[in-house]
Structure 1
């Protein structure tokens, strides 16, 4: 392997910066994989995030991640990843709540960058394009550009865009177009955003206004998983998923906290109905028909610490054809990503046979996204 201790950068510094060779004894790294959850962080974007006030790192992290193309390709070779579908992680490309023009510019530049990466390495990289949400008209234009000119493989939606959660009826024109194009949407968590969050504060200072304890914990520790479940719940309870039946969704981190609350929020919402005065319709679901809906339109990547409990809960709801391999590189350092793959190699054979594990590591992604 080409990694050394000097290049073991960690995003949220979740993993100690020990040499990747320490993980090289893990079994199963030779299994071919397609990575549906990985990120690029080019230097110009790093500076844009810093300029928007995200210091010392994005989302409360201690530092921005290290990334370049060679580093990514070396990681893929070490982990036998045949292809990576890359995207922009949180805080995304819409870095300023009151500067639509800048957000559109950053979004287009990021999409151009990932499209160029795919064109240069067509067998190694695909990409999910970002959209300049919450600007609906600009998003509609970028959908067509991303698919028709840039050859995007799908789209990445943050779990909210400045408080625009994904069951919001304002998104109907976007979903209509994506449904017509039979698009794939990869949801990536970000910081929560209440309706009354200040619109004139961005970057790290904003964290204290959006959720309790954000001053104490990095967003990937708690809020990412809650906000992903929040927006998926909004999609389901409003009937958005059912209405746009051609859209296919990838949910990260084995559903976040969704496995723990899935049945509870379905049953509770069916009892209580919609809140008076809301713009959200209330579509009642049973566990059976909601599970069937997700079985048809949803896939779940296994990035992060998903093996000890989440996969066991999710495997009772969904078959092995619904799971995808994800590394979360470069926000997860190589040593951590390889260790997490080792966890998969230990746990997945307790649930699935070797053919089904092959689906999870590669074939499900081929079926969803193409080679």
Structure 2
């Protein structure tokens, strides 16, 4: 049995899903990022090698997948991921993808995923293909339902996001969007959720921010100062919101990033994440190497407290949340 790490940023691209995306003409998640070749066995191999006890699986779908039949594709994807958890209850949790911007279908999928499939929360892209962000008023009903359920919401960059302000023609070829634009997508979503009122209206939602929140920790005070100049009517508790978010360490486990995180949130809000399979074995190993030198953050205990269904599954297998946190 693997050790006690809980990876909260671990993607599952089931072969039938990849085949369907290719049938729809989708070959890449983002420029320079082809659809991954992934299997459950691959994840277990990497997890065992690194001493990772369990991983919370999630799927991000490219914008091109959200055409006709998106709701049925999302349903299949969630069924496949939930099936992986059923087959390996001591190794995996799962987050449900939603068919936004279809609000009605998203509400139905929340009920099915959380009540029928027993999934551990949802994953949402920071922005949508039409340019809207998660704090758009059109999605208020979705967040109100997630708030009612006190759901975990993992905010991840949209795989297709490209910021036109990042550079002129040819910029994306020299500096692909995953390097710079992705973290800005998350940052923009967070600002939109805070200043648009979603975070204040939905205190029950537990937001987990990919890649340590993009640039949010670094820009935290700048965001707090918005009411002193560009948003004089803002009433948002920016510092409180930033402190309440959870931050995972995929591509963000360096000592400098962790030091910044400690300034804006509590150590109980810092989680272990890898972004596997997009980050390969050697990056997973490097992430673990950085985090093993952090003595005062209980990465495993933090994750088990956030995902009680996963903790309960581990407990039924005789591990128990308390024991797992000590591994």
Q: Same fold (TM over 0.5)?
A: yes
Is residue 41 from structure 1 mapped to residue 4 from structure 2 by the alignment?
no
In the alignment, which of 265, 269, 273 is matched to residue 318 of structure 1? 265
In the alignment, which of 70, 74, 95 is matched to residue 64 of structure 2? 95
Q: Which residue pairs with 2:291 in the alignment?
A: 344
Is residue 120 from structure 1 mapped to residue 120 from structure 2 by the alignment?
no
Could you give the per-residue CA deviations for residues 277-311 of structure 1, whole angstroms, max 9, x where no partner exists? xxxxx6334xxx42223334x21101113314221
In the alignment, which of 170, 189, 194 is matched to residue 236 of structure 1? 194
User: Following TM superposition, by how much is the alpha carbon of 1:58 offset from its aligned partner in structure 2, in angstroms?
Assistant: 1.8
**Structure 2, gaps ≥5 residues long:** 312-327
In the alignment, which of 168, 180, 183 is matched to residue 222 of structure 1? 180
Question: Within 1, Cα distance between the matches of 2:33 and 2:60?
Answer: 16
Question: Within 1, Cα distance between the matches of 2:55 and 2:229?
Answer: 43
Shift in CA distance, 146/166, structure 1 to aligned 2, threshold 3 Å: same
User: Following TM superposition, by how much is the alpha carbon of 1:214 offset from its aligned partner in structure 2, in angstroms?
Assistant: 2.5
Question: Within 1, Cα distance between the matches of 2:166 and 2:70?
Answer: 24
Q: Which residue pairs with 1:247 in the alignment?
A: 205
Superposed counterparts of 1:1-371, under 5 Å: 32-55=4-27, 57-89=28-60, 91=62, 95-96=64-65, 99=67, 101-162=68-129, 163-191=131-159, 212=167, 213-273=171-231, 283-285=234-236, 289-296=237-244, 298-346=245-293, 348=294, 354=295, 356-357=296-297, 359-360=298-299, 362-370=300-308, 371=311
Contact 1:190/1:223 (8 A) holds in 2:
no
User: Following TM superposition, by how much is the alpha carbon of 1:312 offset from its aligned partner in structure 2, in angstroms?
Assistant: 1.1
SS at match of 1:214: helix
Stretch deviating more after TM superposition (337-346 or 136-145) = 337-346
Question: Within 2, Cα distance between the matches of 1:49 and 1:176?
Answer: 31
Question: Within 2, Cα distance between the matches of 1:122 and 1:63?
Answer: 29
Could you give the per-residue CA deviations for residues 67-113 of structure 1, whole angstroms, max 9, x where no partner exists? 1011111111111111110000352xx5345x2x3211211111000
Number of aligned residues: 304
**Structure 1, gaps ≥5 residues long:** 1-29, 194-206, 275-281, 349-353
User: Following TM superposition, by how much is the alpha carbon of 1:191 offset from its aligned partner in structure 2, in angstroms?
Assistant: 4.7
Question: Within 1, Cα distance between the matches of 2:302 and 2:252?
Answer: 20
Q: Which has the higher contact order (CA 8 A, sep 6+)?
A: 1
Stretch deviating more after TM superposition (154-163 or 40-49) = 40-49
Could you give the per-residue CA deviations for residues 34-93 of structure 1, whole angstroms, max 9, x where no partner exists? 1111001122222333344444x32012533231011111111111111110000352xx
Question: Within 2, Cα distance between the matches of 1:83 and 1:48?
Answer: 27
SS at match of 1:126: strand
Question: Within 2, Cα distance between the matches of 1:267 and 1:143?
Answer: 36
Q: Which residue pairs with 1:3 in the alignment?
A: none
Instruction: Calculate the aligned-residue CA RMSD, in Å.
Output: 2.2
Shift in CA distance, 31/82, structure 1 to aligned 2, threshold 3 Å: closer
Shift in CA distance, 211/96, structure 1 to aligned 2, threshold 3 Å: farther
Contact 1:208/1:215 (8 A) holds in 2:
no
Contact 2:211/2:248 (8 A) holds in 1:
yes
